[in-house]
Amino acid sequence: MSLSQRTGAVRSAQAAEAQPADNEVAVLEAHPGAAADHKAAPATAAEPVAPKKRRGLVLPVILAALVAGAAWYGYGWWTEGRFMVSTEDAYIEGDIAIISPKVSGYVKSVEVSGNQRVKAGDPLVTLDDGDYRIAAEQAEAQIAVQRLTLERIDAQIRGGDAALAQAVAQKQSAQATLGLAGLSLKRVSGLQEQKVVSTADLDSAKTQLEQARASLAAADANIAAAEASIAVLKAQRAEADAGMRSAELALEKAERDLAFTVLKAPYDGIVGNLSVQAGDLVSVGKRLAALVPVDQLYIEANFKETQIADLVPGSKVAIHVDAYDDETIEGTVTSIAPASGSVFSMLPAENATGNFTKVVQRVPVRIEFPKDVLEAGHLRAGLSVVVDVDTRTAPQGAALAAN
C-alpha cells in the first residue's frame, strides 16, 4: 500500500468516528428528554470494572495451584517415585500342560468338561483298551512259556551233572582196573619167565591191560561229553533267561500302554481348550486339552533394559491386575532372565547386515504371587497386569534409599 493510500484510509476512519457524534447531537436536539438518559449513560458504563479485578485475582490463584501441584508431585517423586520401576508390558503366565495321548485308539469316554477344576491323578480321558489288554495277556502267556523252558533246561542241567558224576566214577574205576591189570601183567610175565604159566596166560594179562586202558579212555570221553552237554544246556538257559527278560519287558510295556489308555491330570488345575469327545480316533501326541495350574501362576514382566539396573530378586512388587483394578497385590521378584527377549526369539535380529536401528530391548523378569492369592483361584493365565517394583526393598535398597 502506498503512502497516499494509507493517508486516505486514516481520514476515512476519522470521518467514521465523527459521524456518530453528529448523529447523537441531532437526536438530542430532536428529543430533548433523552438528554438526561444520555448523561446517565457514563455511570452505567463504569459497572464492568469489577470483572476485570476478578480476572486479575484468578491468575495468581492458578499459579499458586500449579506451584502447589508441582511441589506435591516433586515431593512424591523424591520420596517414592524415584525408587519405583514400573511397566505395563506384563502378563500372568503358567506352565500349562498339554494333555496328549501316548497311545492311539478310539476315545471311550471323556471324564471332564471344559473349565472344570481337577486334582492330580483325576482321570480326564479314557481310550478303548481292548487291544492293549490282549497284548498284556499275550506277554503274560509268553512269560509262562519261558518259565517252563527254564524249568526244563534246569532239569536237563541236573541230568547232565549226574551223567558227569557217573563218567567221573567210571574213570576212577577204569584207573583202578588199569592199575590192577598192570600188576597182573607184571606178575604173569615173571611167572612165564620161570615157565610156571603158559604163554596164553601172558597174552590174557596183556589183553586185560589194554582193555583197562580203553575203559579209562572211554571214561575220559564220557566226562568230556557230559561237560560239553552241560555247557550247551547252560547256554540254552542263558538264552532262555534273555527270552524271559524280553517277555517281562514286553509285559511291562503292554501294562504301561494299558495304563496310558487313561489320561490323568499331572497336577491340580483347571481343564481348558477341551477338544475331544467320545468316539474320536486319536493318534499319539494329538492335543486333546490343556491343564492350567491356577495355584502355580506367576508374572512375566518385560522391563526395558534401562530399568533393570536396580532390579534384583527379593524386591517387593505392587501388582495391579487389569481384571481386578481396585485391588493391589504384593508380589516378589524371583528371577531375571539371562538374556533379552529378542535373543530367544525364533528369528533374532541380525544387526551385522548394515541396516541398524537401535531399539530399546526388554528383559523378562519373573514375579511370584503370594500363596494365599493363588489359593483363592481368581487369577487366570494371560491376564494383563501393571507392576511397580520398589527397589528400596531389595537387599541393597537401604543404601539406595539413603542416597
| CATH number of the domain to which 268 belongs | 2.40.50.100
Residue predicted with more confidence, 351 or 379: 379
Domain of 137 in residue numbering reads as 130-260
Number of domains in the chain: 4
219 inside domain: yes
The set of residues, in sequence order, having a beta carbon less than 8 Å from that of 186 and lying 6+ positions away, is none
Q: Quick one: 211 and 302 in the same domain?
A: no
In a 13 Å sphere around the CA of 15, the CA atoms on its Cβ side amount to 6
- Taking the whole predicted model, whether its pTM rises above 0.75 is answered as no
321 inside domain: yes
Q: Quick one: 229 and 310 in the same domain?
A: no
Identify the H or E element spanning 45.
helix 34-45
Per-residue model confidence as pLDDT tens digits over 381-401:
999 999 999 988 877 644 444
pLDDT band with cut points at 50, 70 and 90 for residue 373: very high
Q: Quick one: 237 and 269 in the same domain?
A: no
Surface-to-core class of residue 336, CB atoms within 10 Å of its CB (0-12 exposed, 13-18 middle, 19+ buried): middle
Q: What CATH number did the domain enclosing 204 receive?
A: 1.10.287
Q: Quick one: 239 and 320 in the same domain?
A: no
56 inside domain: no
Q: Quick one: 134 and 231 in the same domain?
A: yes
21 inside domain: yes
Q: Quick one: 380 and 268 in the same domain?
A: no
Do 182 and 255 touch, CB atoms closer than 8 A?
no
Q: What CATH number did the domain enclosing 368 receive?
A: 2.40.30.170
d(CA 119, CA 297) in angstroms, rounded, equals: 16
Residue 81 has what pLDDT?
Answer: 67
Helix (H/G/I), strand (E/B), else coil: 88:
strand
In one letter, which amino acid is 27? V
Q: What percent of the chain has pLDDT over 90?
A: 53
Q: Quick one: 248 and 322 in the same domain?
A: no
pLDDT exceeds 70 at position 2: no
Q: Quick one: 250 and 140 in the same domain?
A: yes
pLDDT exceeds 50 at position 40: no
d(CA 195, CA 202) in angstroms, rounded, equals: 11
